[in-house]
Structure 1
């Protein structure tokens, strides 16, 4: 049986020391990478006034200069006294609201930072569904009747904004 100071025991200690050093180095590199990513994320969130997007204030949307025209046209719309951006562009379901907000926040900031978006801005299909659901949420009585009639007479899905395009943003 090897003693504490025997060559076999020393060899085992050296191997264990190398293993623990390698694992320690891997953890240190992982911690540095996570710290760097977290730091860049926090800086970006602060620089982009990310906390303002957690509010219900429509002016927060103008933190991005490309949204100023949309904010201005909302001010000219028939709904600006009764609805803000979140009312039409986020789900009314509590979890869906935050999922949509996170999804849009990430992809909007990415597109605007990289200047990789269509000009003028176009609503994406998934957001068109959210907006359609917002219309039917607030106008449930009339929407139910209209949806019933449209299902029997049209081949494409009903979309409130198709006929009421200036309700949320009145371009003049």
Structure 2
């Protein structure tokens, strides 16, 4: 080894510092936002963000309050897809609340609406099949949009 040379080059040190800062800031944000609470099934978690308070209050006043939590409608029933959807939604929520720019009236994205529709059909399969004859073209949400959250 030549005199004055180092095992670590400046780009490697800068990359390590940047990675460390990203992990540190991300870890702090996850802890500050009570990130682990989103891994569970407690509906109160959804009101961690003040913009969701109205949706939480609407759910508490709805008929589904006694039989379904947020995850029952907003995530698929299968474990892997449930946590994949939770991760995707968490990413979108954290980005929206961190950088701003989200609308005053929050609407479900198309992907989220598809999950909700699927969960309606999953829980109410017998009724839906009897009404639709097994056809998929009929939307539960179109007529029952306020069932989960009273407006």
Q: Same fold (TM over 0.5)?
A: yes
Give the gaps of 5 or more residues in structure 2: none
What is aligned with 2:40? 55
Pairwise CA distance, 1:110 = 1.1
RMSD: 2.0
Q: How does 1:136-147 map to 2 (within 5 A)?
A: 136-147=121-132
Give the gaps of 5 or more residues in structure 1: 1-12, 152-156
Pairwise CA distance, 1:150 = 5.2
Q: How many pairs are equivalent? A: 151
What is aligned with 1:169? 149
Larger radius of gyration: 1
Q: How does 1:35-46 map to 2 (within 5 A)?
A: 35-46=20-31
Question: TM-score normalized by structure 1?
Answer: 0.80
SS, match of residue 80 in structure 1: helix
What is aligned with 1:98? 83
Q: How does 1:71-86 map to 2 (within 5 A)?
A: 71-86=56-71
Larger RCO (alpha carbons 8 Å, 6+ apart): 2
CA distances 1:84-140 after superposition (whole Å, capped 9, x unpaired) = 000000111211111100010011111122221222101110000000111111111
Q: Which runs of 4+ in 1 moved over 4 A?
A: none
